[in-house]
Amino acid sequence: MRDAYQEQLDELADALADMCNQVADAMSKATRSLLECDLQLAEEVISEDIRVDEVRAVAEERAFALLALQAPVATDLRIVVSAIHGAGDIERMGDLALHVAQAARRRHPLPVLPAEVAPYFAEMGRVGVALALKAGNVIRSRDLAAAAELETDDDAMDDLHRHIFTVLMDRHWSHGVGPAVDITLLARFYERYADHAVAVARRIVYVVTGRMPGPLAV
């Protein structure tokens, strides 16, 4: 009975880690659609988003079943509760990738990004995907050092987010209000995507240590 219970906990963690891989792939495709004006990639992200929602629903169903049938305590209870919250964070990452793809589709065949900001979004996409993949690895490994690294890695996204505003506020900006609004929203989508990846890592710290999510300390 205990072996079956542990297997259920492991399956729950695997489902969340797989979700991280899914949203990493979604953000990779969404970023490419944005940079390359690729409508097909944008449509793929939009149509595949429902799969992330479905995995979240299944993961939450498993978690609530464990709460009801197994009455977990201590570390096991923290695993189940964190899985419920983590599934929400990861689904939101998928939604943010979806928003990026929708922006690319909305402006197609015109580019969303002026040439001078495109490299920053390419880097934001790279950082975001790396954070999502690392979050999935942390879920599986419960590695506190790797969890702490996500906090540091997120600093790169914050720096890029801030730099976007210096570009927009430059007096030589010549692309008007519409592109500036698009860029502001897109930069926020990437920044929030990274924040949710960090939140997932913080929940793993909570699982392992019993400390409530907050600034990571190893």
pLDDT tens-digit readout, 40-61: 999 999 999 999 999 999 999 9
Residue 121 lies in a domain: yes
Percent of the chain past pLDDT 70, that is, above it, reads 96
Residue 107 lies in a domain: yes
Please tell me the pTM assigned to this model: 0.93
- Residue 144: inside a domain: yes
Is 215 domain-assigned? no
pLDDT at 145: 94
Domain-located, residue 136: yes
Residue 218 in any domain: the answer is no
Q: Is 217 among the domain residues?
A: no
65-108 confidence digits (pLDDT tens): 999 988 888 899 999 999 999 999 999 999 999 999 999 999 99
What's the domain range around 11?
Answer: 2-209
Average pLDDT, the chain: 93
Query: 162 lies in a domain?
Result: yes
Domain count, the chain: 1
pLDDT at 218: 39
Sorting pLDDT into bands at 50, 70 and 90, what band is 207?
A: very high
DSSP secondary structure letters along the chain: -HHHHHHHHHHHHHHHHHHHHHHHHHHHHHHHHHHHT-HHHHHHHHHHHHHHHHHHHHHHHHHHHHHHHH---HHHHHHHHHHHHHHHHHHHHHHHHHHHHHHHHHHTTS-SS-TTTHHHHHHHHHHHHHHHHHHHHHHHH--HHHHHHHHHHHHHHHHHHHHHHHHHTSTT--S-HHHHHHHHHHHHHHHHHHHHHHHHHHHHHHHHH-PPSSS---
CATH code where residue 83 lies: 1.20.58.220
